[in-house]
Structure 1
Amino acid sequence: MEQDRKHFELDPDSDDTLVVSMHTDAIMDLVCSPYEAAALLWVALEAAGKRRPEGPLTIRNW
């Protein structure tokens, strides 16, 4: 359900930004593993950046 998710804009000042959506239970599980959470998010962002016609992502809200 949508209310069970938390959304994070990667660049809040841009109209054309990616939004990371995570389930609140996943966030709670990842709180104990910040390095693993960051690595998983980075891999997902790298993959998304390669598919964007505009090119790689610029992350300003990390």
Structure 2
Amino acid sequence: MKNGPPIFDGGYDPEGAQKWLEGVERIFKAMRCQDEHKVNLGSYVLHEEADYWWGNASQRLGAGGAL
């Protein structure tokens, strides 16, 4: 994504997570991103702890598990 997406590192930061989500949604809207592509593109800008969490969560979801 060439739009300079916000980066979220994880940890307990509800305000930071909300700002990250709003920034990513703004980019998705400008790109006219279809819903089925948002998870892959959104997970691309997760870093450090958030990226590790998403790796584990997506494996569980792929195996039919719940978060």
TM-score normalized with structure 1 length: 0.40
**Relative contact order: is structure 1 or structure 2 higher (C-alpha 8 Å, sep ≥ 6)?**
2
